[in-house]
Structures are given as C-alpha cells and as structure tokens.
Structure 1
Amino acid sequence: MNITVLLITLAIAFLITVLLSPIMIPFLRRLKFGQSIREEGPKSHMKKTGTPTMGGVMIVASIIITTLIMGSKLGNGSIGYETWLLVFVLVGYGLIGFLDDFIKVVLKRNLGLTSKQKMVGQLIIAFIFYFILRSQDFPTYIQIPGTSVQFELGWGYAILIIFMLVGASNAVNLTDGLDGLLAGTAAIAFGAFGILTWYLLPNGEIAVFSLAVVGALLGFLVFNAHPAKVFMGDTGSLALGAAIAAIAILAKMEILLVIIGGIFVIETLSVIIQVISFKTTGKRVFKMSPLHHHYELVGWSEWRVVTTFWLIGLLFAALGIYIEVWLS
C-alpha cells in the first residue's frame, strides 16, 4: 500500500479532531461536563476540577469518519470485515466509557459505573468480537515475535481474546492520569502497529485504522497537553485500549502487544503490586499508584513525568518493530 494513503489518513484524522475541539470543548463546558478530581489523588490535581471531560467523543468520531472514508477508497467502495470489527470494538468500549463518564459528570457519582457493570459490558463485546472472528475462520494460533514458532490454542484462543480486550482497555484506562500522558503514549503505540501492519500485511485496512487513531490523538494532544483544556475520559481510554488489542489480534501480533504497549503493562503492574503489598504487609511499594503518580509525589513536574513516559513508550515501540521486522 502506498505510504501516501497513510499520510493522508493521518492528516485527515488530525484535522477533524483539531477542527472539532474548539466547538466541542466550549459545548462540554456549557453542559458542565467537567472532571471531578478524586480526593485521594495528588493535591496538585485539584486545580483541574471542572476541566471538560468526555473529549474521547471527538477522538472516536474522528477515527470512525477517517477510517470509513479511507477504508472505502482502499477497498474501491467496499469496506472489509476487519475495518468493521475494529470500529465495532472502538464504539462498543467507547459507549461503556461514555456511560461511565456520564454518570460521573452528570449524575455526580465520582466512581461512575460499578466495576461489575463495566466488566459485564466489556465481556459481552469481547465475546461478540470472538464469535465474529470465528465465523471468518480466523486462525487460533499465536506466534512468538521474530520467529516462525507457533502454538495452536484452539478454544483457548477465545480466553486469550477476552483477556486481551478487557485487560488492554483497563490498562490503558489506568494510564490516563496526567495531561497528555495517554494521548502521547497511545499515539506512539498505535503508530508502531501502523508501521508494522503497513510493512508486513498485504491488506491495508489495519494500517489505515491505526494511522487514523494516531492522527486523532495528535489532534487531541493539541488541546490535551499540559495544561489540558480537555480530558478524554473513559470514553476515550477504554475505546483506545480495546482498539489496540483488537489490532494486535487481527494482525496476529498478540504477544507483541505486551512489548509495544509496555507502558500500559508497567502502569498496570504498579497497581497490582501496590494492592498486593498493602493487603499482605500493610505497606505501600509506591507513594501512589499508578506509577505516574508516584513520580509526581517524588517531586517530578507533571510535564517531566509525561515526556519521560513518552520516551520510554518510544523505546518499547522501537523494540517491538525491531523484533518483528529485523529478527523475523
């Protein structure tokens, strides 16, 4: 596929988000869709109270519009099942996040949906995703990155898919805690998958979707970088997490997600370690979890934490590309 198509995809998504944001941000502010800051969070975050949230609506809308436009041109008027599956996952998890945000900001319940309600919604979408894949005779093996070694999982592949979609959506959600942190790290991770799928796969559908996400996130970052004028909320973070897992599945790069999404893995592990340590010993390993809050409380500025995590995300992305391309 011509790289020009990817650059056009990125540009369209970027422009849509940049043009939508000055309209949507004041609209969200008028509706009083402002972020409520948890009292147990860093005290420096209290000044962010009232910043418009649910900006993920702009991200999701930009991705869908761009993907359908470019996907249609790519398929000479028709859109393949992979594109529809990616859009389905993006919208499905985005709706769960939207409900969560709506309850938080409109009904003033700071915790939003209960964990059980979120989990049920996430599982339902994951099951539907799996059954659609199986209807297309999708292979159920996984491959070790950089090698030709494969393991057939059979029915166990269903468990893997569910774990990946639910796990990734929640891991990415945990990373959304500082201005520009998730938008930047996610753009890097999706960009890595965009490069890999463009280079390695004959069908350009997944690459187009990936670059549409990158463009939308870069456009959002214009307004989300410190000091943020808008937050994406769970509407964006849950949708992005599930979408990157779906990309890894469809591209048969399931294991590579752990490497390219290394930042999300580390953030999740920091929460798990903190909970286990506190419940078993009564002591905390970190000053606060997820990990980005620990560095804030150590004395790092918010911008220093974010740019450091971006750099680490770039290293993970480069490592993933190196393993998949140069070692295979």
Structure 2
Amino acid sequence: MPDGELTRQLDRYLRHLAIERGLSANTVAAYRRDLGAFLAALADRGVADAAALDAETARAYVVGLRERETPLSAASTARVISSIRGFTRFLVEEGVIVRDPAEQLAPPKLPKRLPKALSIDQVQALLEATDGDDPVRLRDKALLELLYATGARVSEAVALDVDDLVGADGTAELIRVVGKGDKQRIVPVGSFARAAVEAYLVRSRPLLATGGSSTPALFLGARGARLSRQNAWLVIRAAADRAQLGVDVSPHSLRHSFATHLLQGGADVRVVQELLGHASVATTQLYTHVTIDGLRDVYQQAHPRAR
C-alpha cells in the first residue's frame, strides 16, 4: 500500500471500524483489501492526499473495475463501492475533506438472492456422515449438530468457549453466542446436539487438548488449539462429500436450513430473528420467501383447482 496522507487516514478508519463500530477482524480485513487496492490505484494516478480525491477519480476507479480483463461481479462491485463510500464519509465526518467525492457512486442493482436450505433428509444425511467414535469424528458430529440446532454462523461456533455452554450439571441446554458487533444472544440447544456435545466433551476434547496448551475453546483442532473457521468449513465440506447430497453445501447451509425448517414448522419470524441474531427482521423475512415457495408447490400439487 502506498505511503501518504490517504494511507494514514485509512489506518485511522480501520481502527474506527474495529474499535468504535466493533466489526470483526474478518470484516475489517475485507475493508483493508478493498480500500488498499483503491488507494494503490489512486497512487498510480498521482493522488496521495485526501484533498486531491474528487468524484471523477472515484467514478473512474469503479468503471475500471467493470471494464478490466476479468471484471468484478456485480456483488463484488457493490461491496467495493460500499467500502469506498464508508471511507469517504468518514473523511467528511472527521473534517479531513469538505465534500464527499463518492456520494454519487451508485452500486449496481443486485438480484435478490434467496438463501438455499437443505431438506430435512439432506441435513439428516449430512449429520450421519459424521458418525464415528474417534476423537475427530466426535468433534465433527458435535460441531455440525450444534450448527444445525442453533443456527450459529461457523465463525460464531468456532469462537465458542466451554464456558459458553449453559445448563444444569454441565449439560449444554443453552449456549451463549457472540455475534456481529459483539452482540450476545442465548440460544437453546436441542437434545441431539446436546448429546453430541456432551459425548465430545467427555470422550474427544480431553484427547485433543493433550496435543497443545490449555485453551478455553470449545472446539479444538488436532494440535489442541482452537479450531479455525477455515478448518471448520473443511469439516462441513468433507461431510457433504461423504453424504453425496448432490447439491452445493456452503458454510451457511446449516444456518439457512435451521431458519427455514423453523419457519416451516410454524415458528414466529421474530423468534427466528432473535435466534439468528439478525439486527433487522427484514433479513430474516428472506427465509419466509423460501417457505412460501414450498407452500405454493404443495398447494399446486394437492389442490384440485390449483392446476
């Protein structure tokens, strides 16, 4: 990244995101990548100071992203524009510049992407693919059961400590999840996940913990340290391969399935919002479109006057 006033302001902005807004390290790193590339392009144009950044320069950079040999997707372009606008708005609020040069940057319109959920049978097959008695399989079983039982993000699950399990006599009846913006929520744990977690704690975690230094982490890797988000995703992908589901499985598949199956079972959307840790119910309501599609299919197949 080039040195100059803009670089120093970017460092201030990233600290602001991490400390004052409480964004996660992964989110701050994404801002750093997007804005670092933006500042490097500005340096190539001879722009190193905030006062020299104007609307035309910002617009030209975004146009260039769409016209390069491998153009950014609409979603990636929208993310970059959001990053730039956040940074320039910060510069205005801090009195570094008077007018916001990115104020008129318009993100491309994105199609509304509905979350993809697995069917109940597919989830069952995925969970059964982690069956086994060795320490790693017991851990993997507990991880996937907990993800489906609670709707936690993968990053939230690997951040759990043993002390985040709440229940009488050490049983995991509830878990304390720390979500985006360090917001905490308490989520109940179903009987299958509770049994899997308790089996892992008794028969697996002590063996994994001997490979490394003491850690409060709930889920451990083979060397005894906290299981990483990347390795947790590898666990999910390996289970999906063994289950031969025939559909794409993402790190969020179990979270999407958790929400969709709750709504299909009659859960109130506001309750699901709380369980997922969504700041806005509008985000949760995306899942209602998925369940409505399912209801429409059943209606068209079953009602004599629907076809």
Structure 1 length-normalised TM: 0.25
> RCO higher in 1 or 2 (8 Å CA, sep ≥ 6)?
1
The structure where helix makes up a greater share of residues is 1
Structure 2 length-normalised TM: 0.26
